[in-house]
Structure 1
Amino acid sequence: MNVSEVMTRNALSVQPRTSVADAARIMLANHVSGLPVLDEAGALVGVVTEGDLLRRAEIGTEGSPAGWLKALLQPASVAADYVATHSRHVSGVMTHSPIFATPEMSLGEVAQIMLRKHIKRLPVLEDGKLTGVVSRADLLKALTAKLIETHPEARTDAEILAYIKAEIAKANWAPKAGLRISVKDRVVMLDGTIFSDEERQAVVCIAENAPGVEDVHDKMTFVDPGSGLSFPATA
């Protein structure tokens, strides 16, 4: 899937001269965590988020004043901090040169950016113009739609078994010996020996995600390589 399939179109936005109070009211009223900031020509010049408003003098969260040494050596930085915690307009608190997505980007690319940069939403630009916003909530909606699909693929027991074996063969972490798999009436039976609970969970995941599977029975035995003790992995 790509961004154009899940993004929110006709996204709300503000301008640099929008007041901080109005930006906060818009976010609260529309249950969004951030807003793109557009100049008069409609070009994206920034993003203002809840995070940008965490440090504010009005509610006593601006932090401790800079020491005299920092003020002496880095006056511009101290002045910028003052603007961020006291400015009455979005231009003073917004994040400049924001990261953005494009409609053809994959959801995988967007998710990686969000995780790596610790951000919740991205403006979506097409030909330099704002065409929407893609958020973590949009990704969750896409995930939910996939998880609740009610059209299980019709597969024979042999096809299910072949799929599971093929997936295990491709996984470099998976046990390649000591694991027995059988399928009857679309129910998978997992038996044999594994050497970590993480491996057990991952093998069960492969079985559960095999197209056509209705249930998975885990009878694998976990053997601790350190102690030599063995016990049922599901205990």
Structure 2
Amino acid sequence: MQAADIMTRNVITVGRDSEVREIASLLLEHGISAVPVVSDSDEVLGIVSEGDLIRRVEDDKRKSWWLRLFAVNDPGEYVKSHGRRAHEIMTPDPLTIGEDMPLAQISRLLEKHHIKRVPVVSNGKLVGIVSRANLLQGFAVVDPETAATSADDREIREAIRKEIDQNTGVLVDRINVIVSQGQVELWGLVENDTERMAAQVAAENAAGVKEVKNNLGYVPRGFGGA
């Protein structure tokens, strides 16, 4: 199983000049912890995480007047804590991976670099993102060291995602579909029981599906401004 089999494809992104307030709103609205910063041609320029935004507030709060007396001003830190646009506060030139990287290797990469997610690129352009949650979902389905995903499994995955997106009224951005040897697992968040069942029916009706395990949870009240 590889990055292409578990990654989130409908990636929420921002441009280099997106404002900090806009980025914070996107994280809250979509229930995500980071957004890639991309160019007009979808090249990955950087990543802005919720940690970057929270750190701005923490830096201001913890610097009491007496600490300021002894503080050594750092231009880079100043930009990070006071910048108003994505390119000013992002982590630039982030680590990226290809669609064919195996899950076990991705896991080791995240651990080695102490990161929670990694953008997936193809021909230099962003095509998805793999988070720790995506990895756990993949590990829950198969043994990442030995399992192989066939072309049929990938076709099933895309067929299910397309059906959910186009015909069910359920936000596919919040759902991840994992397929191994025709066994389907649904992960993510939906609004209610009806949406949960709609996603399951879409998966059950896809050609080649042998079994569907529905792990979908529910969006917390107040999530995304509701």
TM-score by structure 1 length?
0.55
Q: CA deviation at 1:41?
A: 2.5
Comparing 38-47 with 54-63, greater Cα deviation is found at: 54-63
Residue 44, structure 1, aligned to residue 40, structure 2 = no
Structure 2 stretches of 5 or more lacking a match?
Answer: 144-226
- Cα distance in 2, alignment partners of residues 46 and 62 from structure 1: 27
Corresponding residue number in structure 1 for 2:23 = 23
- Cα distance in 1, alignment partners of residues 115 and 61 from structure 2: 21
Residue 87, structure 1, aligned to residue 83, structure 2 = yes
Letter in 1 for 2:31: H
- Cα distance in 2, alignment partners of residues 138 and 37 from structure 1: 20
Corresponding residue number in structure 2 for 1:191 = none
SS in 1 for 2:112: helix
Corresponding residue number in structure 2 for 1:3 = 3
The structure with the largest helix share of the pair is 2
- Cα distance in 2, alignment partners of residues 38 and 91 from structure 1: 10
> What's the CA shift string for 1:40-85, capped at 9, x where partnerless?
23211101111212221488346466666844xxxxxx12111111
Q: CA deviation at 1:145?
A: 2.4
- Cα distance in 2, alignment partners of residues 99 and 63 from structure 1: 31
Give the greater-gyration-radius structure (CA).
Answer: 1
Q: Percent identity?
A: 33
8 Å CA contact 1:57–1:86 kept in 2: the answer is no
- Cα distance in 2, alignment partners of residues 88 and 9 from structure 1: 28
Provide closer, same or farther for how the CA distance between residues 67 and 3 of structure 1 changes in structure 2, counting only shifts above 3 A.
farther
- Cα distance in 2, alignment partners of residues 61 and 101 from structure 1: 37
Q: 2:130 aligns with which of 112, 131, 134?
A: 134
Q: CA deviation at 1:106?
A: 0.8
> What's the CA shift string for 1:117-163, capped at 9, x where partnerless?
1111111000000000111111111122238xxxxxxxxxxxxxxxx
- Cα distance in 2, alignment partners of residues 123 and 110 from structure 1: 11
Provide closer, same or farther for how the CA distance between residues 63 and 103 of structure 1 changes in structure 2, counting only shifts above 3 A.
farther
User: 1:55-204 counterparts in 2 under 5 A?
Assistant: 55-57=55-57, 60-61=60-61, 63=63, 70-71=72-73, 78-146=74-142
Does 1 or 2 have the higher relative contact order (CA < 8 Å, sep 6+)? Answer: 2
Letter in 1 for 2:122: E
Structure 1 stretches of 5 or more lacking a match?
Answer: 72-77, 148-235
Letter in 1 for 2:2: N
